[in-house]
Amino acid sequence: MTGTPGPTLADTCVVIPTYNESQNIRGLVEALRKLSPALRIIVVDDGSPDGTGALADELAARSSPMRVVHRRGKSGRGSACLAGLALALSDPAVRCVVEMDADFSHDPRELPDMVRALETADVVIRSRYRPGSSIRRWGLSRKVFSRLANVFARRALGIPLTDFTNGYRAYTRAAAQAIEPGGIDSSGYIVLSEVAFQLHRKGLRLVELPSLFVNRRRGESNLGPREVLGAFAGILRLILKRVTS
């Protein structure tokens, strides 16, 4: 880290991956605009059958600065965020990139503190398991599974994080540029762990802030058995990388 002032909302870009989020995207964009009219927004839509992409185009037409990326088919949250990060970095004025979900599980009101925290950190992660955090509208089995999965990842990878799978993160421009997409083998939620693994090994400072995580109220979850199995397979691949490199 340097002694230069940290980024502000005026030079921040928010990347939002979407798949069937027509019930949420308008409200989220409006909530972000209330934070700062200058906040840049990139929506990466994976060909949502419910028309999310078209709705995002309508919002972008009257909610500048906002861009929409249309991809064919559901290619995974992780790859969508990587595509959004690359597009955000193509704007030389962007000093901070935030990734967040579209379903309001990530509270937009927590975003300004994340950006401010980048004054002394390279990556800021909103953790569901830091003191002061809270998870709402999750059943007991999902809470237990998520907690055990994160404990396993922490011990296996040796990275001092409590939450590897919450996709509410802020990156300095330098940290976002340090991500190597070619070295990431997955496309879903496990990309979050792979990115943390890469950046930690490069000596970047990853810090966590507590978070209020509220399970979606509208729409259907995109996290299914395939994503869960893929996450565990991805952790095993990262363990192998750690051992062999």
Q: Provide the CB-side half-sphere exposure for 191 (13 A, CA).
A: 24
Instruction: Give yes or no for a contact between 110 and 98, defined as CB atoms under 8 angstroms apart.
Output: no
Sorted by where each starts, the structural domains of the chain and their CATH numbers stand as 9-244 (3.90.550.10)
Q: What is the mean pLDDT of residues 66-87?
A: 94
pLDDT digits (tens, 9 = 90+) for 32-60: 999 999 999 999 999 999 999 999 999 99
Rounded-to-integer distance, Cα 140 and Cα 126, Å: 21
* pTM attached to this predicted model: 0.88
Q: What is the mean pLDDT of residues 10-37?
A: 97
Asked if the peptide bond before residue 7 counts as cis, ω within 30 degrees of 0, the response is no
Rounded-to-integer distance, Cα 47 and Cα 62, Å: 21
Instruction: Give yes or no for a contact between 127 and 211, defined as CB atoms under 8 angstroms apart.
Output: yes
